[in-house]
Amino acid sequence: MLSRTADNLFWIARYMERAETMARLLEVGARIALLPSAGHGYRSEWDSLLQASGTAAGFAKKYGDPVQRNIESYLFFDHDNVSSVATCISRARENARIVRTALTTQVWDALNTAFQEMRQLERTPRSQLELSRLTEWTMRHAAMVRGAIDATLLRNDGWDFLGLGYKLERADNTARLMDVKYYVLLPRADYVGSGLDNYQWTTLLRAMSSHRAFHWAYGGEITAGKIAHFLILNPQCPRSLLTAIEGATQHLDRLAKGYHTSTQAQSRSRALLGELSEMTVDDIFEEGLHEFLSRFIGDVGEVSQLVGEIYLSGVAR
C-alpha cells in the first residue's frame, strides 16, 4: 500500500475518534456544570475541558476568558480549532475523498452524510441547537462510520491502518477524559471519596457510555479505585487504556507479518502493553493519577510518531 494512502486511512480513523471525544468532553462539562459550585477545582468545569483537550492556548488567544458558550463553539464548530468536531469531520471526509477507491460505498456514504449534515448544523442558529443534541449527533455518526468499516471492509493492511488510528486515538482520548476529573477536583484531596467525588466519577462513566458496563463488571459502590481499574486496566472495558493498546499492538503485529518485517513501533507498543498488563491501581495512585496519565499520553504520542515515520511518511518502508 502506498504510504500516502495509509496516511489518509490512518487519519480518517483518528479524526472520527477525536470528533467523538470532543463531543464526550462537552457532555462531561455539561453534566458536571449542573452541580452547585463547591468553591474549589481547577478554575471552572469548562476550563478543565480546554486543559484536558489540549486546546487551552488556542482558545485563550482567540476568546480570552473561558465562557461556556464560547467554549462550546470552540470545541464543536470552530474551524480555527484543529480538534473541533467540525474540523475533524471535515478532514476525515477530505481524507476519505482522496482514498475513495480504498473504501467501500457504505464507509464513504457514512462519512459523507456526517459531513453534509454538519454543514446544515453550521447554518442553523445556535439558539436552536441544544448541546445534548450536538453531542448525541456526533456520537451517532461516529458509530455509523465505525460500523460501516467493521462490517464492509476487507481485512487487509488498509483495515489495519484504520484500526491503528482508532486505537491510538482512543488510548490518548480516554486518558484525556480521565484527566478532566483530575482538573475538576484539584487541589482539595479531602474531597476524594465524598459524594461529589463519586458523582463526578459517575458522570465520567456516563459520558463514556460505560456506566452500565461498569456495574456489570463490578457492581456495588462506585469508588475511584474501581473506576480507575475499569478505565485503565480492565481488558473487558472497550475504552480502557489496556484494551486500546492491546488493539494497537495487534494491528501493528498484523502489519509486521504482512510486510514481513518487525518495526520499532511494534516493539514500543508491545513494551507499553507489557507495562500496563503488570500494573495495579495502587501503582497508579502511588505515582499520581495525573502524572500517570500525562506519562501515558506521552508514550502513546511516541508510538504514533514511530508509526508515522515507519509507515506513513514513505521514508522507512
* CA 86 – CA 243 distance, rounded (Å): 28
CA distances from 62 to 17, 84, 115 (A): 25, 14, 25
- Count CA atoms closer than 13 A to 56's CA, side-chain side: 13
CA distances from 224 to 149, 176, 184, 197, 243 (A): 35, 16, 14, 8, 19
Cβ count within 10 A of residue 164: 30
- Using 50, 70 and 90 to split pLDDT, how confident is the model at 317? very low
Q: Looking at per-residue confidence, does 206 or 171 come out higher?
A: 171
- Is residue 50 pLDDT above 90, yes or no? no
For 230-285, write each residue's pLDDT tens digit.
Answer: 999 999 999 999 999 999 999 999 999 999 999 999 999 999 999 999 999 999 98
pTM for the whole structure: 0.90
For 299-313, write each residue's pLDDT tens digit.
Answer: 999 999 999 999 998
Please calculate the CA angle 294-297-3 and round it to the nearest 5 degrees: 160
Mean pLDDT for the chain overall: 88
Please calculate the CA angle 204-210-214 and round it to the nearest 5 degrees: 100
- Is residue 316 pLDDT above 60, yes or no? no
Q: Which of 198, 195, 237, 232 is nearest to 216 (CA)?
A: 237
Break the chain into its structural domains and give their ranges: 1-152, 155-316
What is the grid cell recorded at 165?
A: 488510528
